[in-house]
């Protein structure tokens, strides 16, 4: 039976509520529980997941709604008490913490010490309005929020460029500013490699490999995945490249993106050819067609990381891809399939590219798959279609456990691939969550005298809280074969099913040196050259990560005004900006 609890005028971030839903659903006697804000979109999710109740119509966008499916009515009070306890803990009870928290822009700016960066992780419906407030107050913007209309992104980035400010995002999952971690990122060493990327886990894979090779990064500037689209025109990437070029600490500039629009790529490459520092460029998804004297064009993320380190060391790039050798397998004739279940979208894209280029099977277009053919499938479980009303797979193992079990029972499965992305924002011990299922399916395959290989890779460093070596050990003891990088894992999988990844061998092509204006605003240089002073609007875990790195941060406990009515909020925004006052 379904029961509904509505907590009026009590705003919480969606990720916090998703994690709370997970805890409540695990309670004994609770079949399922879901906790979300009472927005129209969330009400549709409740109904779509079989948790629609008549009481939903009474909830507003500022109300927390809990729907419980239980056969024991006494569990409702138990759930209610658990929610109260969780929310009380999440709001912070000691006075010292409250003194550094704000509930509006005026108070946040009063509490902050010369703030220069707003970190925004509120629902995308409202994120653009708060980003504009930040820009008008002279702050750079890091926008973790997604589902922001592209026209808002263009408008905000044009405004930021005019003011000499960065807008990183929307949907920017990863950033490192002067060694300060922003959102989902890893603890990596300081060094002389500057990174700018339009992909979150792509930045994580490259920077963690760099760290494990004994080098480090100055900054890793995320741009958001749409920055290199025709409409946006690479505004953030171009400003970031110019800033890294002006930074005397940067010896090598590394650029990571999926293939952009042709005219945008030409614009980016023209700027890259204008600078004197060595450059590594990776437009992931397309095979590079040539090399250049000053720009090394990489094919994979590992190659980009290795090339960056070798150039930083003053060496000639010499990337030698590797595979795990000596694996003993005896696949049945119908075992031809590679099944890959990723939490990192860029890693999934890399796997799809390598399989597409190497195995030659006709691709089947199917929504929800990064790559699908007769035998193989690659899925980014962090895609929006898998995360509606659910936590991201870097946090929640449920969907990957389900995929592990179903694919292991499929007669055509030969190899299963998994990533484990650790670091800030990720699950505290994902390896221990996945390990029992890995052991169960590998033991079952052995008992049936059937070969089944589970390959895994951990994206992280020995400085990450989860422990890089510990996570690898847990997965290995469960029966997984551990690979050092995604590149190595995918190459190994492809060789196990009889294919081979051909590393591009490229001739050097000469271009005229560019003549672009490389000047950059001093406010951009100040951001990447010093610890930022942050106003964090949204997830409190992001505040903790910034605090732990030694930077200053004020927590802005945001909630939608005007009852969450977007049109009315925009009217108030216009009036406040017109009068020159802070919201």
For 531-544, what is each residue's pLDDT tens digit? 999 999 988 889 98
pTM comes to: 0.90
In sequence order, the 6+-apart residues with CB closer than 8 A to the CB of 153 are 128, 167, 170, 224, 226, 232
Residue 54 has pLDDT above 60, yes or no: yes
- What are the Cα distances from residue 398, in Å, to 343, 393, 407? 12, 8, 14
For residues 497-507, give the mean pLDDT: 95
Same fold, 172-321+503-519 and 337-496: yes
For 66-109, what is each residue's pLDDT tens digit? 999 999 999 999 999 999 888 776 544 344 344 478 989 999 99
For 278-299, what is each residue's pLDDT tens digit? 999 999 998 999 999 999 999 9
Instruction: For residues 64 and 86, give the distance between their C-alpha atoms in angstroms, rounded to a whole number.
Output: 13
For 113-122, what is each residue's pLDDT tens digit? 999 999 999 8
CA 179 to chain centre: 18
Dihedral over Cα of 543, 548, 549, 551: its sign = positive
State both tokens at 184: 């989902």
Q: Which fold has domain 172-321+503-519?
A: Rossmann fold (3.40.50)
Instruction: For residues 298 and 307, give the distance between their C-alpha atoms in angstroms, rounded to a whole number.
Output: 8
Question: DSSP string covering 131-184, please?
Answer: HHHHHHTT-EEEE------HHHHHHHHHHHHHHT--EE-SS--EEEETTEEEES
Q: Residue 570: pLDDT band by 50, 70, 90 thresholds? A: low
Of the chain, the percentage scoring pLDDT greater than 90 comes to 77
Q: What is the mean pLDDT of the chain?
A: 91
Whether domain 337-496 has CATH 3.40.50.261: the reply is yes
For 387-415, what is each residue's pLDDT tens digit? 877 788 998 999 999 999 999 999 999 99
* Angle, helices 150-163/235-246, rounded to nearest 10 degrees: 30
For residues 235-247, give the mean pLDDT: 98
Kindly report the three-state secondary structure assignment for every residue of 394-441.
CCCCHHHHHHHHHHHCCCCEEEEEEEEECCCCCCCCHHHHHHHHHHHH
Q: Hey, where are the domains in the chain?
A: 2-91, 97-171+532-583, 172-321+503-519, 337-496
97-171+532-583 in CATH: which number?
3.40.50.720
Q: How many residues does the chain have?
A: 583
Q: For residue 170, say if its preceding peptide bond is cis, omega within 30 degrees of 0.
A: yes
State both tokens at 126: 């409202």
Residue 11 has pLDDT above 80, yes or no: no
């Amino acid at each position: 039976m379904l029961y509904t609890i509505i907590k009026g005028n009590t705003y919480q971030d969606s990720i916090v509520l998703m994690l709370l839903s997970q805890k409540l659903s695990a309670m004994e006697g609770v079949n399922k529980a879901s906790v979300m804000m009472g927005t129209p979109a969330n009400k549709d999710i409740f109904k779509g997941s079989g948790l629609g109740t008549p009481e939903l119509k009474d909830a507003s966008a500022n109300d927390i709604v809990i729907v419980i499916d239980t056969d024991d009515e006494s569990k409702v009070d138990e759930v209610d008490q658990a929610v109260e306890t969780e929310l009380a803990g999440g709001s912070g009870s000691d006075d010292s913490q409250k003194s550094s928290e704000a509930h509006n822009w005026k108070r946040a700016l009063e509490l902050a010490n010369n703030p220069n960066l707003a970190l925004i992780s509120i629902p995308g419906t409202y994120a653009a309005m708060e980003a504009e407030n930040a820009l008008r107050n002279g702050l750079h913007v890091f926008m973790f929020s997604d589902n922001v209309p592209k026209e808002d992104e263009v408008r905000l980035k044009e405004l930021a460029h005019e003011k000499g400010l960065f807008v990183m995002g929307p949907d920017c999952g990863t950033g490192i500013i002067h060694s300060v971690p922003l959102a989902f990122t890893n603890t990596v060493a300081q060094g002389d490699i500057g990174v700018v990327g339009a992909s979150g886990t792509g930045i994580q894979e490259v920077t963690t490999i760099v760290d494990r090779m004994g080098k480090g990064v100055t900054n890793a500037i995320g741009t958001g995945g749409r920055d290199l689209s025709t409409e946006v025109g690479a505004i953030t990437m171009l400003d970031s490249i110019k800033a890294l070029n002006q930074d005397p600490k940067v010896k090598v500039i590394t650029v990571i993106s999926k293939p952009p629009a042709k005219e945008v790529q030409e614009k980016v490459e023209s700027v890259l050819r204008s600078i004197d520092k060595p450059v590594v460029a990776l437009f992931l998804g397309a095979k590079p067609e040539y090399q250049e004297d000053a720009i090394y064009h990489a094919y994979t993320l590992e190659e980009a990381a290795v090339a960056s380190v070798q150039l930083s060391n003053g060496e000639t790039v010499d990337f030698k891809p590797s595979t795990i050798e000596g694996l003993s397998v005896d696949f049945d004739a119908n075992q031809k399939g590679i099944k890959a279940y990723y939490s990192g979208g860029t890693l999934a894209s890399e796997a799809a590219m390598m399989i597409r280029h190497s195995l030659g099977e006709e691709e089947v277009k199917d929504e929800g798959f990064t790559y699908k053919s007769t035998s193989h499938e690659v899925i980014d479980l962090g895609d929006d279609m898998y995360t509606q009303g659910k936590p991201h797979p870097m946090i929640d193992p449920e969907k990957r456990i389900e995929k592990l079990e179903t694919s292991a029972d499929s007669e055509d499965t030969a190899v299963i691939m998994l990533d484990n992305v650790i670091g800030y924002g990720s699950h505290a011990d994902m390896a221990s969550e996945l390990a029992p299922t890995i052991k169960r399916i590998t033991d079952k395959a052995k008992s049936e005298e059937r070969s089944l290989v589970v390959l895994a890779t951990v994206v992280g460093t020995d400085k990450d809280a989860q422990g890089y070596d510990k996570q690898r050990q847990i997965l290995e003891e469960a029966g997984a074969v551990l690979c050092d990088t995604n590149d190595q894992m995918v190459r190994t999988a492809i060789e196990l099913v009889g294919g081979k990844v051909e590393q591009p061998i490229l001739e050097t092509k000469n271009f005229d040196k560019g003549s672009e204006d490389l000047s950059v605003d001093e406010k951009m240089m100040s951001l990447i050259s010093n610890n930022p002073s942050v106003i964090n609007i949204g997830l409190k875990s992001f505040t903790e990560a910034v605090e732990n790195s030694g930077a200053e941060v004020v927590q802005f406990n945001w909630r939608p005004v005007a009852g969450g009515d977007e049109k009315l909020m925009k009217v108030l925004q216009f009036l406040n900006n017109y009068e020159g006052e802070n919201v």
